[in-house]
Amino acid sequence: MDLYFLGTNAGVPTLQRNVTSIGLRLYEERKALWLFDCGEGTQHQILRSQLKLSKLEKIFITHLHGDHLFGLPGLLSSRSNQGGLSPLTVYGPPGLKPFVDMALELSQSRVEYELNVVEHEGGVVFDDDTFRVEAALLEHRIDSYGYRIIEKDRPGQLNFELLKQYGIKPGPIYGQLKNGASIQLDNGDMLHSHQVVGEPKKGKIVTILGDTRPCDNVLQLAHGADLLVHEATFLHDMQDTARKYYHSTAYQAAVAARDAGVNQLILTHFSSRYKDEHQLEPLLDEAQTVFPQTALAMEHHLFPVQ
């Protein structure tokens, strides 16, 4: 599991950075790509990346501001032409479905796959055998949500040497034992799953926030996460401006990461006043004084979830 940043700028794109979009690669976990936000130009960024639209399974929109949304109609209509025929579900706040429906209808776009748009107002927005995704309302000028992506614990590894000693050959019985069942051996003894299966592999937790001022739900969503993605639109000397426009500073993001007990913080959604990587360094320095395990989101860079 890792993150791939397609856009890290706030508000408008610049020559150095695109507007917000993040890919969560789940190639090992479910052979799929999830996308968080889809600002203008996202599909162009994907063409320049290692990501494939054919693997895109879900898109989560944090809020309906254009820098997080305007790339969606183009990406949806292009997906068929790039080999994406599997079903795709898009999640987001109320208003997302009429936006998507109208854009595709008026442009007479052909979508040759099953497209589902799910509007939500927080809570559990997705849940299956491998992942659960929770959402909560943040504090922004319009309804903006953060997402907590929870990978469920996976069964431990089978002890193949021990199975061989019990005379069990590879086959369906391996799957039964790994899934917690007990079997009867030829001598009549019972062999229980815990005797031949190691400790469960603990799932990862990733929290990806939309635009927000500091608020209680940030800590709720980020609590104990392995990785937190938090906006850092301004340096802290502009905290009054940040509050006025419902954004956060790098310092505030670091405080949230520290207080939520996360393992790693990645800053993103940078104001266009910070033109290049050199001008972003003060944001990183500011955050690391509070939370040393902080990194800057860099476009077309992979960040493993550790």
Which residues are annotated as part of the binding site for Zn(2+)?
63, 65, 67-68, 140, 211, 269
Q: For residue 230, count other CB atoms closer than 10 A to its CB.
A: 29
129 noted as active-site residue: no
Query: What is the 8-class DSSP label of residue 61?
Result: -
Catalytic-labelled residue, pool 67, 127, 189, 216: 67
Helix (H, G, I), strand (E, B) or coil at 125: strand
Please tell me the number of Cα atoms within 13 Å of 1 on its side-chain side.
Answer: 17
Contacts of 40 (CB under 8 A, 6+ apart): 13, 18, 19, 66, 67, 70, 71
- Residues 43/12, Cβ–Cβ less than 8 Å: no
Residue 41 backbone zone (phi > 0: left; psi -120 to 50: alpha; other: beta): left
Q: Residue 210: which of 276, 144, 114, 299 has the closest Cα?
A: 144
Catalogue the active-site residues.
67
